[in-house]
Structure 1
Amino acid sequence: MSARLPRDLHPVAWWVWALGLAAAASQTTNPLVLLTIVGVATCVVMARRSDQPWARSFRLYVIVGVVIVVLRVLFRVVLGGGVESERVLVNLPQIPLPDWVLGIRLLGPVTQEAVLAGFYDGLRLATIVICVGAANALANPKRLLRSVPAALHEIGTALVVAVTMVPQFADSARRVRMAQSLRAGDTRRFGRLRRFLLPVLEDALERSMHLAAGMDTRGYGRSGGVTTRERWTTGALMLAGLGAICVGVYAGLDTTAPRVLATPMLAAGVAVAIAGLVGAGRRVSRIRYRPDPWRAPELAVMASGLAAGALMWWVARHQVPTAFPDLVSWPTLTTAALVAATVGLIAAPSAPEPRMAQVST
């Protein structure tokens, strides 16, 4: 019964769920699947977001997604679609370019395939951005940083500024809009934008910096009693592991490289990097007040996101026409693709209701 009381879900669970949806979106260009994933993310956010400032940032990510789609289609129109077809929608005058820019043209005939290709690519990127926005709107960024491994606390100040910038931007925009509505000012469009945008950016960055300064004042990520030898050993392990991971990834992508430099080198790099993280974490002592619990709702939310990514990966490998439809026919949906796009909805009934902020009277 206590698991269903209002409480904040573990932020890592929301991020794993959102990254699973983003991974599913990256495996397809089918607009029906992508729009379904966007709808799933929107429904879960509307059902399980709290009244905290970061919960209002989801609208900004949706606006960014719409802008991405529009810009991607415009780039296809202005720079040439790269898809030759007889289905010409608009025949714009083409601007001649010198010979050294072969493959690029300005304007010219706008074909149906070029517009659809830009729309499909832009919609896939926009869906990934919206999924990340859903995680940012559902997960408490301050509590998320408490879950960061101890070895990474040295970059926590930079992380807290980056993670809280967009949520603080949404809250600052609301407060500045309310303040400016109470007083008169420049009525010109450009003047209103300048009076609105500059205070919002300044306030959002200042509040994020204040949070980072408060964490630094309280000793966030501080370590003591570390010898120079231990510090050099930890740094060497981290650099060696990173270098081995880079070599392993490059050898895995390059089929001409020796196979011993692929998977074995990647595994060795990961092992060395983990050893470095463990060594760095031992020199950071910290305690946690009321740590976030891991219960059945967290596992169910994570499982729904991971299932979406895994199912869409299977669809991309075994149902290629559905995952990557052509540009001359209407995209289709299969049962597996529909299940992969909608399984993320399990997160809404699985997660408990969020704890709302206390309103003083």
Structure 2
Amino acid sequence: MRRDLHPLAWWAWAIGLAAYASFLTNPWLLLLVIAVAGLVVAARRGHQPWGRSFRLYLGMGAAIVLVRVLFRILLGGTAGHVLIHLPEIPLPGWVLGIRLLGPLTREALLAGLYDGLRLAAIVIAVGAANSLANPKRLLRSVPPALYEIGTALVVAVTILPQLADSVQRVRRAQQLRAGDTRRVGRLRRFLVPVLEDALERSLALAAGMDTRGYGRSGGASLAQRRVTGTLMLLALLGLCAGTFAVLDETAPRWLATPMVVAGLALAVLALVVAGRRVERSVYRPDPWRRAETLVALTGLAVGLAGWWVSRHQLAVAHPDLSVGPQVSLIALLGALVGLLPAVATPEPAAATA
């Protein structure tokens, strides 16, 4: 049976892939994460406009890698095997630790490539979620207390999908009529309608949201607002202290996991209390079934695998720049688990949601 999965399930899966990539700099594993995201998108994206935005994220990832490598070439500073002797540009004496050009080493190129691939994999994982999850249904799934913030976030993450749809519509329209054949003229004829179309759609969306009462909340007494603010402040303090203790091994252990758990519990409680004053109804809420649970657990498993490899297989997670990167069976299986949604979930609905 064809149906669209719950959008939060796809975001949980994508966050797991992004977390896996954030723990590693191994290029083979990062390329595997990108391939997994691409295969799942190709197998389970629908026919909606946002389903065609994945190419933009692939192009953005390639640009990130290229810019990262170019910065390594421009700044240099990494010792190792010299590939090319570039002329060094002299800088003032007060600029310490910065060098322009100079000898280009293999280690500098590899460091830029590894760092760029990691950031590109994270961006592409987020792009996979944008291509698979219906943003309108995602907005319906936001908790009531975060509805105003969720509205802004959903509008923000749909900018690239809307641009992709505008590009295709303008390109099809221009193919039906003749025009300026000069390169500058073609660029102007292409960019101006795309930006105008995206702006008009954004204004129409904002007007539609305003007429439907988006951002309107029920009344709350001064005592209720003080309780909600106190709970959120305590939750923030607990999460900050717990995160600091987790990252700093010299901190007392009672500040680590217990404080993180306490902060999360207070945050959930504050959201529940704040959500009671938000008046919102949902028509035909999206079901959460076994397929959604499988997709979310897949993302969790991929993220945990990346964390385990970064803790117990440091040479695999962060290979030395002087030798070839190696992979392990656990690292490979941890990334390949992310392919399960491509075969274990129903195909997307044929009709536009």
Q: Which TM class, normalised by the smaller chain length?
A: over 0.9
Native 8 Å contact 1:237 1:273 kept in 2: yes
When structure 1 is superposed on structure 2, of 272-281 and 5-14 the one drifting more is 272-281
Equivalents in 2 of 1:335, 1:267: separation in Å?
32
Equivalents in 1 of 2:34, 2:312: separation in Å?
23
User: Out of 158, 170, 175, which is 2:164 matched to?
Assistant: 170
| Alignment-derived partner of residue 21 in structure 1 | 17
User: Out of 151, 162, 182, which is 1:157 matched to?
Assistant: 151
Amino acid at match of 1:317: R
Equivalents in 2 of 1:231, 1:199: separation in Å?
46
Equivalents in 2 of 1:192, 1:211: separation in Å?
29
TM-score after normalising by structure 1: 0.90
Distance 1:269 1:345, change over 3 A: closer
Amino acid at match of 1:141: P
Native 8 Å contact 1:316 1:323 kept in 2: yes
Residue 176 of structure 1: how far off its partner (Å): 1.2
When structure 1 is superposed on structure 2, of 58-67 and 175-184 the one drifting more is 175-184
Residue 285 of structure 1: how far off its partner (Å): 2.9
Distance 1:239 1:200, change over 3 A: farther
When structure 1 is superposed on structure 2, of 209-218 and 107-116 the one drifting more is 209-218
Distance 1:252 1:302, change over 3 A: closer
Residue 224 of structure 1: how far off its partner (Å): 2.6
CA deviation map 1:298-328 (0-9, x unaligned): 1111222211111222222222211111112
| Alignment-derived partner of residue 180 in structure 1 | 174
Distance 1:339 1:162, change over 3 A: same
Native 8 Å contact 1:161 1:209 kept in 2: no
User: Out of 193, 208, 219, which is 1:199 matched to?
Assistant: 193
5+ residue gaps in structure 2? none
User: Out of 281, 285, 295, which is 1:291 matched to?
Assistant: 285
Distance 1:340 1:234, change over 3 A: same
CA deviation map 1:48-107 (0-9, x unaligned): 000100001100000000000000000000011x3211x222111000011211111111
Q: How many residues align?
A: 353
| Alignment-derived partner of residue 7 in structure 1 | 3
The 5 Å alignment of 1:167-316 reads: 167-250=161-244, 252-253=246-247, 265-316=259-310
Equivalents in 2 of 1:319, 1:252: separation in Å?
20
Equivalents in 2 of 1:151, 1:292: separation in Å?
19
Q: Does 1:141 align with 2:135?
A: yes
TM-score after normalising by structure 2: 0.92
Native 8 Å contact 1:160 1:208 kept in 2: no
Residue 156 of structure 1: how far off its partner (Å): 3.6
Native 8 Å contact 1:53 1:171 kept in 2: yes
Native 8 Å contact 2:238 2:259 kept in 1: yes
Q: Does 1:93 align with 2:67?
A: no
Amino acid at match of 1:183: R
| Alignment-derived partner of residue 326 in structure 1 | 320
5+ residue gaps in structure 1? none
| Alignment-derived partner of residue 38 in structure 1 | 34
Equivalents in 2 of 1:344, 1:256: separation in Å?
35
Q: Which runs of 4+ in 1 moved over 6 A?
A: 255-260
Give the aligned CA root-mean-square deviation in angstroms.
Answer: 2.2
CA deviation map 1:239-290 (0-9, x unaligned): 4433443344345545676776655554444333333211110112333222
Residue 108 of structure 1: how far off its partner (Å): 0.8
Native 8 Å contact 1:240 1:272 kept in 2: yes
Native 8 Å contact 2:139 2:151 kept in 1: no
When structure 1 is superposed on structure 2, of 197-206 and 261-270 the one drifting more is 261-270
Distance 1:251 1:316, change over 3 A: closer
Equivalents in 2 of 1:311, 1:291: separation in Å?
33
When structure 1 is superposed on structure 2, of 151-160 and 315-324 the one drifting more is 151-160
Equivalents in 2 of 1:258, 1:50: separation in Å?
49
Equivalents in 2 of 1:234, 1:358: separation in Å?
40
Equivalents in 1 of 2:282, 2:44: separation in Å?
25
Equivalents in 2 of 1:169, 1:332: separation in Å?
39
Native 8 Å contact 1:251 1:257 kept in 2: yes
CA deviation map 1:9-40 (0-9, x unaligned): 11111111111111111111111111111111
